[in-house]
Structure 1
């Protein structure tokens, strides 16, 4: 009886590992489970008998991967329940109804890769009616989101075609790190291998996603964090025409300014006297003043703006000062 319990627990652990990664080497799986290669092969056969399609991958880097079968594996779900769950996860992923997008996308990807094709077609058809479109363009494909979520989790390099905001098309080779929602869209934060720098990609502009199966070692993320990095990139793209322009000259060197401002210091320039020039722009004078409010306390600076913007800034500053003094 103890042997049966141990065997069942080990088989469930094997299933959990196979669902976590797209591909496992046989030696690594055996090491994780603390069993021999022969025992691993027996456990794989038990999963196959239960309805799970576990494919063997030959070769030097061979191993096992979990594929979709001809029926829903025994998850204690009927076909209807599995379809309902997949559609619910799609809606949650695209509408951002939950606080943990990575969890939602990973669950969606894990479920959909196990659904038989007839149920995936039903999910796709019903998803047309429950998946909202974005306010200003096509909606993001949940399939692509799920594939990217798996690549982020597995630390697997990917290739894809990308269409920039201006219409330029390119092919990218990247290390995906995180999916971040911003401005009613999903964005991929990735290390662009060809440009040797961090980049953000709007997922609905991404196509022809290809899994290379090449793993990568994680790099230190941008110091400001993934959400702030993506927010700054999105802000720059959506800024639009900015007729109000000027610059602030700060009494701090460029390195200190970048440390304090993070991605917002991207356009800053170091001056010969060691100070830093920070361009400011906006649609209204209030946008420029708002930017000035982010300069750290104690840092002296000079605002350089043309007339009549200078008078407008002074008038606004006088009104703010007067309002703050009122009791």
Structure 2
């Protein structure tokens, strides 16, 4: 029998023994009665028992220890209070359960934590209609999900997740974008962060003796443990993962100053909603701007990124200071004008096609990858035991295929798991259950009386809790059945702490929560929605009354897919451009010809709408490494520059995207786009 299987049998038997005894027991009693310990000598038992206790504690299952005589381990008494193993009952409404099912149906197979999410839903919905059995919903669709994005990234993610859980130092080769160099990193992993379609690792770099952030797609080769020790480090008590999730791109690194940006009143609402948490807004003084203008003060660590953001706002933003930052912006505007007048100087093609320095670009959104994170087998066995014992008490036989589907395991894995459970005992030859798969494909289960210990939901293990909260944080505000904020509150209350402290956080791209909830309610109730919408490309506001059908996310954010009667067609409105939204009293009948999720495989994932034109854009050698991760490279040049393609429908959008590159990008063709970028840069330079 494999060592891992032996360990699982010991740990499950230990739990069942302590729960059945319902009294403190001594170490010698445990060694005598619990499956797997009796054949060990005293030293081996002491080591194994200590290791098993440590692993159970890491899983959130805390044994109580009484020490009658100080320092004598053999006099210690052990027990497992029911509340330390069982999950407190959580009452969910039908709407909340429907929302949970929607979350799973959307993320199943496309979420790196989909399998532990399934087990978590099984546990938290115990005794209530299972969200796994609810009908499919069509009122939300995802273009971007928290999938790992490919086999290699899935492997790295799984290894890092385990290292965080076990507090193991890891070693890997990493491509540093700033220097364009590959080097070995030794890191204590503290936290995983999902932000902007990518997974990041936050941890202490031994090389820098400081906390650093590593993008998983820039890790090369395999991730390995640095030692064979059981644990290598303890995460500092003052580590706050929210600090890293709440930073914007110009704040990555150590602050070097505070910038002041004049924001036109026309878009001040948008800046406050989406960027307010990254700085402070105050009314503009009379000498600074108009009466409704605001000044946005924000700390920055990367001058180029801050300048690029200001340029992307076009004529609605002006950098006030500090002087050195204003000079950099002026220099970059001059470079933009020059490179769209006589330049850029394009080097000949590279003699040999160079391989891209990064292999994880794009949205990081591979479809139906092999599961990135498989839950600990312990979690699966506990869930399977509860399913079998409940069925056995009811005198029912369950189709094996149904159990395999619920737990996402193969028939062979099911047989192996049943074999393990059949030898889990209460001590002294009493077993928890006996089960077997019959010839007709059903499972017969015969539980023992004390098996009731497993007939109630167990506490969510760390990876299950993280999966559940991450799923809610990813899409919870966009569930048309109603926000899952109430579910999150109930789960955190039952767990006693927020699982984002346990190593995974989903960072919000913006602060559209109120708008999202309003739109979600209108979608769910089939009511007309009146919106005040800002068309950024044309710099105009318009009022629309539309029929909202679904919420969809894509590379640039969340959208509501709606039928616009005034234009007799389906339109997609970005939530971050909706200034106000009001639900009307009037209901609408869904139009059979409207398929709100029809486009989800297209522009939400690619960023390119139908009838897009193609632009060839030169990228400087200094910026080429980053754009290789985001765009299709059509030509490698001898000096390290590249040529990429941008798909665009409106020239105004393309102009903004090129301005955001702050002089490191230049349109080669079409000519009208070159002229438009030059004109826009010249206007900003003379503003």
Structures share fold, TM-score greater than 0.5: no
Q: Who wins on radius of gyration, i.e. which is larger? A: 2
Q: Structure 1 length as normaliser, TM-score? A: 0.41
Q: Structure 2 length as normaliser, TM-score? A: 0.22
